[in-house]
Amino acid sequence: MNQPEKKDNPNKIRHLIGVMSGKGGVGKSTVTYLTALALKQKGYRVGILDADITGASIPRIMHLPKYEMKVCGDFICPVETESGLKVMSISFLVDNEEQPVIWLGPLLSKAIRQFWGDVLWGELDYLVIDMPPGTSDVAITVMQSFPLHGFIFVTTPQDLVSVVVARSMQMAERMKVPVLGLVENMSYFICPHCGEKTKFFGQDETEKLARQFGTELLAQIPTSVELARLPSQGLNLESKLTREVLDQLARATVQKLA
């Protein structure tokens, strides 16, 4: 018996952007979530594609419980939060979030293509992709196969991190994908008692990197107690710091893609 042909993909996505870094541990997934949330709060229709298959952390950051994935006709239904954010992650397809995904490059790339083409995203203004760190097969797959409007690169104000992030930025340039700008995470520390700002790592590395690639610094996110507690306690949307960070990210992203 012949298999029925798959229907044409009905997804209509205005802006497809990736959030990338050269290495792990710089807050890339946190910036992905904050960017998506910031855009959602501005009234846009937003989704998050967790492309970090072997290190998926978006569901934990967003405090999404275990979901049983559902099928929407010929497509997979993404998880939709109470605020309306649509999310797809490998964490929804494994027994528990600590289960390792031990796949070779071709299988990882296939999964990413399915997250893009087989998920019913519907009509979105922005789909934000949480990329794996580095210049792996998945990064090549996304850059070659997806109609990207550009990448936001996440870094911290340290010389070593800037060098590694520069490699990923060069990769994007060679693959003809626009660099939208840089987000500097852990830019400074805010004392929870007196509110004083302290810059542990200096302040010039990210600006030098932006000048090197002819781009700009889109936002600076501080190290703070409330942001550090995001994976365990959630985000305090009423705090002044959170509102400032979300406003920076939303304004910068919308302006770059206007």
Residues 6+ apart with CB under 8 A from 80: 86, 87
Query: Over the chain, what is the mean pLDDT?
Result: 89
- 213 domain-assigned: yes
Domain with 211 in it: 12-256
Whole-number Å distance between alpha carbons of 52 and 16: 16
- 133 domain-assigned: yes
In percent, how much of the chain has pLDDT > 70?
96
42-62 tens-digit pLDDT: 999 999 999 999 889 999 999
68-91 tens-digit pLDDT: 778 888 899 999 998 899 999 999
Looking at residue 146, its pLDDT comes to: 94
Q: Is the pLDDT of residue 25 over 70?
A: yes
User: What does pTM read for this prediction?
Assistant: 0.92
Listed range (61-70, 87-96, 102-111) with the worst mean pLDDT:
61-70
- 108 domain-assigned: yes
Number of H helices, E strands in the chain: 9, 12
CATH of the domain at 20: 3.40.50.300
Whole-number Å distance between alpha carbons of 222 and 196: 12
- 5 domain-assigned: no
Strands (E), 39-101: 46-50, 71-72, 75-76, 79-80, 86-88
- 106 domain-assigned: yes
Structurally, how many domains does the chain consist of? 1
Q: For residue 108, what is the DSSP state? A: H
- 242 domain-assigned: yes
